[in-house]
Structures are given as C-alpha cells and as structure tokens.
Amino acid sequence: MNAYVFTFCGTLCHALPSGALYLPDQNLLCVSDLHLGKSDRIARRSGVMLPPYEVIATLDKLAEDLAATDARQVICLGDSFDDLAAADSLDEAMRLRLTSLQAGRDWIWVEGNHDPGPVDLGGSHLAQVQIGPLTFRHIATQAQAEISGHYHPKFRLAGRSRPAFVLDRDRMILPAYGAYTGGLDCTQPVIRQHFGPTAHAILTGRKAIVVPLP
C-alpha cells in the first residue's frame, strides 16, 4: 500500500497514500472530511454548477482502502457531508453504495462543524470516540493522544502542494479525504500552533513520505 508505518501514543499506525489512517491492531480505518455532496451544496447556495462526481470518486477511494485493509471498524472524523441537506440529497445509487461499504462493519460518524446533526444513513453518530489511549474528534484541542481533522492540511514540496498528515508525539491532524476538498498549508499558525518542535508531515500521493515540519 506504500503506507508510512509509525507508532503514535503507543499505537501502531499506517498513514495510507490516500489520506486514510489505518490502525492494524484495532483493524480500524479512519478518514476525515469527506465533504460528500459539496457540488450539490455549492449549486444550492451559489448557482455554480460543478461536475457532480465527487461523491462517487470519494466512495470509490474509500472502497479501495477498505478492500486493501479489510478494516472492520471505520471512523469518519467529521464533515463527512458538506451540510445536512447534502446528506439528504444523496441519490439512491450513492446511498446503496454507502450501505454496501457499511455492511459488516462498525461504522462511526463523528460530528463535524459542517454536519453537526444525525443523518439517516446507518452507523453511530458521536461527538468523539475513545479507543484505547486515543481520542478521535473533529477539531483539535490541546489534549494528548488526539486524532482530529477539520483543517485539511497540505504541505508544499518541490513546487507541488499535497494533502498531508501532521503530527508530533501528542496529537495528529488528518488530511481531507474528499475529492473536492481544498486545503491549508500546514505551516500556517492555525495548524502549527497545535504542534511542538518535533512535528512532521506525512505527504499523501503515490507513496506516503515523511518530512519535518518547519
């Protein structure tokens, strides 16, 4: 899978090139900020029409990661839908696709700032999740052993900006997983403030690679 393998707070982790985090000992796949239905939300609010392919592209990528890892637990780490109306407007084919991915898996939707309420798509809906020493929530705090999303971190290397995991020994922020999500350079103060001097980024792409965070 060309993953970057590391230990975070005593837990073995694989940072996948797709931007998903896999915990093999827990057989758990974690993804953040899918923003499903973003093209629908933009069309509703601004009238700008984007090609409506981000839902199937994101679910196809998720299906590939689930097939590669055979994860039995899935945590979607907030902002899984671009808003509640986007969740309600998923067409039947995409609902069935999502249901097929959920089948046989413990599926948890963590609440995000874009999707704070429950959606009628199966799984559990929680503000945050505790698994062993790790706390999974949408927006980073100053807590230890924390995994979050929200900021869509990116890192520029060789003239190209790539979605990236950002972490130090206390906390980790995942990249956005959705096909139509933008990003914020992880050296910006709003992200950098959460990390100590030993922080580093794991860049996504064909192969996950690690670089020190300035």
pLDDT of 48 reads 43
Write down the residue that tokens 């590939």 correspond to. Answer: 64
pLDDT of 46 reads 43
- Flag whether pLDDT at 51 surpasses 90: no
CA atoms within 13 A on the CB side of 75: 26
pTM summary value: 0.91
Confidence of residue 130 (pLDDT cuts 50, 70, 90): very high
The residue segments making up the domain with residue 158 are 4-212
pLDDT of 166 reads 98
pLDDT of 30 reads 98
pLDDT of 84 reads 65
Least confidently predicted of 37-46, 166-175, 202-211? 37-46
Number of domains in the chain: 1
Query: What are the tokens at 68?
Result: 């590669």
Provide mean pLDDT across the span 132-144.
96
* Cα–Cα distance for residue pair 10/145, rounded to 1 Å: 9
Provide mean pLDDT across the span 186-192.
96
pLDDT of 85 reads 62
Helix (H) or strand (E) segment spanning residue 109: strand 106-110
Q: At what angle do helices 54-69 and 92-102 cross, to 10 degrees?
A: 20
CATH number at residue 80: 3.60.21
Beta sheet of 21-23, edge-to-edge order: 4-8, 11-15, 21-23, 28-31, 73-76, 106-110, 124-126
Query: What are the tokens at 122?
Result: 């199966």
pLDDT digits (tens, 9 = 90+) for 89-117: 777 888 899 999 999 999 999 999 877 66
* Cα–Cα distance for residue pair 133/161, rounded to 1 Å: 32
Provide mean pLDDT across the span 172-197.
92
pLDDT of 82 reads 66
pLDDT digits (tens, 9 = 90+) for 68-80: 999 999 999 998 8
Confidence of residue 64 (pLDDT cuts 50, 70, 90): very high
Q: Are 40 and 88 in contact (CB under 8 A)?
A: no
Give the pairing of strands 134-136 and 129-131: antiparallel
